[in-house]
């Protein structure tokens, strides 16, 4: 199943999902080249800890660099990026790979407004375009792009399926949708084999500290109130990180140009999710309610029939089991 020749490339290999994917690919016997710029959106020590297992594996190579810097840098002995993408250090790094997983992005819905949008545009749009250029120049046989359920925005019906017209409600969602369109363009016009996967509310060990369950667990361990935005009746399709990683691996065999949801089948209200977390931890949650913030959608729920049909994707983790695993490894 999937691709077996050549090494795998993972951008954002030190991040939450990227580090889990890196570990899985190494466990499957692949050589992995990781790219990560160690941006300071959360402590570097957390990212270093994420990579501890991979660094101990001789089949793993880490390149600490920004994608845009690599795209602008001339490859050793090459003509230089001014002569085309094929001369860039990025293309040289990708050459010979079997698959490039592009997970690198500036995360966060609420932080994407205002002057910080320039950062999102660079990291999520321009970096994706430069990576696709380099993949084409390096003749990469497969590019798998990590998108987000944020592209859907608020829709009139549930569950959310890939044929819906995207209506993102945040600048972050706009940038992830732009990345999808770029993948489609490079597939249609340049013949690049791209696959885009829309992730739904991923959780599990190694979560970023700005993510909901990380904040909730921290607050409950420290006896603080959990801050929620809205009435708690908003719903999410929570997806455990191992199910996402399984989908990423299966996507190696997806047809060129495919676009698929990856969800967990655990659509519950925020209030229900917090109650489940309280049961897992044996703690009674205390809530502090704040107004809904700009960009937050009311409901998400993934229709995963497309992924089931194309790559045999079938999530297995329940919310309670996933939360138990996250709490057990919480640092």
* Sign of the C-alpha dihedral computed for residues 197, 202, 205 and 211 taken in this order: positive
Query: Of 248, 238, 242, whose CA–CA distance to 213 is shortest?
Result: 238
Q: At what angle do helices 212-221 and 319-328 cross, to 10 degrees?
A: 60
Any idea which residue has 């999520």 for tokens?
A: 124
pTM over 0.85: yes
How many Å apart are CA 70 and CA 6, to the nearest integer? 21
pLDDT at 104 over 70: yes
What tokens appear for 239 in the block? 């997806």
**Mean pLDDT score, 67-88:** 78
Query: Of 99, 97, 130, 104, whose CA–CA distance to 17 is shortest?
Result: 104
Mean pLDDT over each residue of the chain, to the nearest integer: 94
What tokens appear for 294 in the block? 């700009």
3 falls in which pLDDT band (50, 70, 90)? very low
**How confident is the model at residue 84, as a pLDDT?**
65
Q: Which of 172, 214, 240, 313 is flagged as catalytic? A: 172
Q: What are phi and psi of 127, to 5 degrees?
A: -65, -35
**How confident is the model at residue 5, as a pLDDT?**
59
Identify the H or E element spanning 52.
helix 52-55
Identify the H or E element spanning 259.
strand 259-262
Spans of all domains in the chain: 7-202+239-265+301-315
pLDDT at 97 over 90: yes
Residue pair 238/317 in contact (Cβ under 8 Å)? The answer is no
**Bridge partners, residue 236, by sequence:** 268
What tokens appear for 183 in the block? 């993948």
**Mean pLDDT score, 58-62:** 98
275-298 burial string, b = 16+ CB within 10 Å, else e? ebbbebbeeebeeeeeeeeebebe
pLDDT at 275 over 90: yes
Q: DSSP assignment, residue 93?
A: H
pLDDT at 81 over 60: no
What tokens appear for 202 in the block? 């991923």
What tokens appear for 177 in the block? 């949708």
How many Å apart are CA 282 and CA 331, to the nearest integer? 18
Cβ atoms < 10 Å from Cβ of 312: 12
pLDDT in tens, 122-171: 999 999 999 999 999 999 999 999 999 999 999 999 999 999 999 999 99
**How confident is the model at residue 271, as a pLDDT?**
96
pLDDT > 70 fraction of the chain, expressed in percent and rounded: 96
pLDDT at 331 over 70: no
pLDDT at 285 over 80: yes
pLDDT at 55 over 60: yes
Beta-carbon contacts of residue 193 (< 8 Å; ≥ 6 apart): 141, 142, 143, 187, 256, 257
pLDDT at 4 over 70: no
**Mean pLDDT score, 179-207:** 98
**How confident is the model at residue 265, as a pLDDT?**
81
**How confident is the model at residue 254, as a pLDDT?**
98
**Bridge partners, residue 126, by sequence:** none
pLDDT at 76 over 70: yes
pLDDT in tens, 160-171: 999 999 999 999
**Mean pLDDT score, 228-245:** 96
Distance from CA of residue 67 to its chain's centroid? 16
pLDDT > 90 fraction of the chain, expressed in percent and rounded: 89
pLDDT at 2 over 50: no
Q: At what angle do helices 270-281 and 212-221 cross, to 10 degrees?
A: 40
Q: DSSP assignment, residue 116?
A: G
* Active-site residue flag, 186: no
Domain 7-202+239-265+301-315 is found in CATH 3.40.50.720: yes
How many Å apart are CA 238 and CA 273, to the nearest integer? 9
**How confident is the model at residue 79, as a pLDDT?**
56
Residue pair 34/13 in contact (Cβ under 8 Å)? The answer is yes
How many Å apart are CA 197 and CA 315, to the nearest integer? 14
Residue pair 190/216 in contact (Cβ under 8 Å)? The answer is no
pLDDT at 1 over 50: no
Cβ atoms < 10 Å from Cβ of 133: 22
pLDDT at 77 over 80: no
């Amino acid at each position: 199943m999937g691709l077996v020749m050549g090494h795998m490339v993972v951008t954002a290999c030190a991040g939450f999902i990227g580090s889990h994917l890196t570990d899985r690919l190494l466990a499957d016997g692949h050589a992995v080249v990781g790219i990560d710029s160690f941006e300071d959106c959360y402590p570097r020590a957390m990212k270093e800890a994420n990579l501890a297992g991979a660094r101990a594996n001789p089949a793993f190579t880490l390149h600490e660099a920004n994608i845009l810097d690599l795209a602008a840098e001339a490859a050793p002995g090459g003509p230089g990026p001014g002569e085309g993408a094929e001369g860039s250090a990025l293309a040289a790094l990708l050459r010979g790979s079997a698959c490039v997983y592009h997970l690198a992005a500036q995360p966060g819905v609420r932080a994407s407004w205002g002057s910080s949008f320039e950062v999102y545009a660079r990291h999520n749009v321009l970096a994706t375009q430069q990576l696709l250029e380099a993949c084409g120049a390096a003749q990469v046989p497969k590019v798998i792009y990590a998108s987000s359920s944020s592209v859907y925005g608020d829709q009139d019906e549930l569950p959310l399926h890939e044929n819906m017209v995207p209506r993102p409600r945040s600048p972050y969602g706009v940038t992830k949708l732009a990345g999808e369109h770029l993948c489609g363009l490079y597939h249609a016009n340049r013949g690049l084999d791209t696959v885009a996967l829309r992730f739904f509310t991923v959780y599990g060990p190694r979560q970023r500290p700005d993510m909901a369950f990380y904040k909730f667990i921290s607050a409950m361990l420290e006896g603080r109130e959990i801050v929620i935005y809205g009435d708690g009746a908003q719903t999410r399709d929570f997806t455990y990180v191992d199910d996402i990683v399984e989908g990423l691996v299966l996507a190696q065999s997806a047809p060129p140009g495919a676009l698929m949801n990856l969800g967990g089948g655990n659509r519950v209200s925020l209030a229900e999710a917090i109650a489940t977390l309280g049961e897992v931890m044996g703690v009674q949650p205390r809530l502090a309610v704040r107004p809904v913030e700009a960009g937050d959608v009311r409901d998400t729920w993934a229709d995963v029939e497309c992924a089931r049909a194309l790559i045999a994707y079938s999530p297995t983790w329940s919310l309670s089991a996933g939360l138990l695993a996250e709490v057990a490894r919480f640092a």
